[in-house]
C-alpha cells in the first residue's frame, strides 16, 4: 500500500521496526545472525514488499521493505537453513524467484536480494 508520492504509511514502517526490535534480544551465549537485502523492480528499490524469514516450518519474522527497498532481520538467528520469501508486490511484476534459501552459521551475515521486472 502506498500513499501519493510513493510513501509507505507510517504505521507499516512502525510495524517493521517493532518486528526488527523484537528480534534484537540477545540472551548470553545466543548466536547472532543477520539476513538483509534489497527488493528492486526495474532496478529501483521498492517499498512495501513483504519479506518473510522462516526456519523449517517456523516463521521467524515478517516485515516490509523500507523506502529504498531494504530489509534487515538481525538478532538471535540460530544456525540453520533459512527461507527468505517475498510477497505482496504489484501485479504485472515478475521475479526469477520469490524464495531463496540461505545458510546461517555462527555470527554470519547473509545478503539476499530480489530483482523483479515489469512485464
* Mean predicted confidence (pLDDT) in 95-108: 94
Which CATH number does the domain housing residue 41 bear? 2.60.40.10
- Cross-strand bridge partners of residue 40: 45, 115
Category of 54 on φ-ψ map: left (φ > 0), alpha (ψ -120 to 50) or beta: beta
pTM for the full model? 0.74
118 in a domain, yes or no? no
112 in a domain, yes or no? no
Q: 3-state class of 15 per DSSP?
A: helix
Q: 3-state class of 18 per DSSP?
A: helix
Cα(17)–Cα(10) distance, rounded to whole angstroms?
11
Cα–Cα–Cα angle for 108, 103, 14, nearest 5°? 70
93 in a domain, yes or no? yes
17 in a domain, yes or no? yes
pLDDT digits (tens, 9 = 90+) for 3-20: 555 555 555 554 544 444
Instruction: Quote the number of domains for the chain.
Output: 1
pLDDT digits (tens, 9 = 90+) for 24-40: 444 555 568 899 999 99
Residue 45 near residue 86 (C-beta atoms within 8 A):
no
* Mean predicted confidence (pLDDT) in 61-86: 94
* Mean predicted confidence (pLDDT) in 87-113: 95
Amino acid at each position: 500500500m502506498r500513499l501519493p508520492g510513493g510513501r509507505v504509511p507510517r504505521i507499516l514502517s512502525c510495524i517493521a521496526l517493532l518486528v526488527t526490535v523484537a528480534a534484537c534480544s540477545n540472551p548470553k551465549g545466543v548466536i547472532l545472525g543477520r539476513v538483509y537485502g534489497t527488493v528492486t523492480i526495474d532496478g529501483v528499490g521498492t517499498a512495501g514488499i513483504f519479506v518473510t524469514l522462516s526456519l523449517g516450518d517456523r516463521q521467524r519474522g515478517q516485515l516490509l521493505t523500507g523506502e529504498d527497498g531494504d530489509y534487515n532481520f538481525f538478532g538471535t538467528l540460530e544456525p540453520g537453513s533459512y527461507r527468505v520469501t517475498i510477497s505482496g508486490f504489484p501485479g504485472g511484476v515478475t521475479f526469477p524467484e520469490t524464495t531463496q534459501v540461505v545458510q546461517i552459521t555462527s555470527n554470519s551475515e547473509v545478503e539476499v536480494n530480489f530483482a523483479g521486472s515489469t512485464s
